[in-house]
Structure 1
Amino acid sequence: MSEYNAGTKVRYRNMAMPAEVLSGPHPSPGRDRYLIRKADGNVSLVPNTDLERIVPRLDQVAGTLAMHLYGRAYVNLDFTRRSQIVYAAAQALRIADSTRGQV
């Protein structure tokens, strides 16, 4: 199974805007490479070491809550606990967004 699927948004080395994986992995000497479309529209074949998965805010908050509340990674929780964690994370982000800029 490939690390990145077609259509996955990734952060490309030293670029502020995300890139999109078009295809891959393509075997090459040394390491696998992925064909990506950068934010400026250019297409490049880059090594997988130059790519980093973009983790949405909800996933980051849910992972942190799961670790602090249950001492386990989010993916290792049962369905009920995962549902509760995602709901709590969504509510925390909603509150944070609605109170942005307030003291």
Structure 2
Amino acid sequence: MSQIDIRHTHSLPHAKARKAVEEAATKLSERFGMDYRWEGDILHFVRSGVDGHIALSPRQVQVTARLGLLLSALKGPIEHEIRRVLDERF
């Protein structure tokens, strides 16, 4: 199992930052069949081979995920895509 832990700073107001996380989760859900749910300011996501969360704080977004055996081989490209989306949205 591989672990992803990405911290990304931002300067968005809370409502806009939460909306950006929600939009990213919606795209992931549509593209990869991921289920997600909010618990306060933490968005939990899960699908076969991956589970994790996106924690939203006033100045930072933290993405943490555990990748199963098959997705561990794609850790580099997955991290790259997450960073690209964070740069784009925040």
Q: TM-score, normalised by structure 2?
A: 0.27
Q: TM-score, normalised by structure 1?
A: 0.25
More strand as a share of residues: 2
Q: Higher relative contact order by CA 8 Å / sep ≥ 6: 1 or 2?
A: 2
Name which one, 1 or 2, has greater alpha-carbon Rg.
1
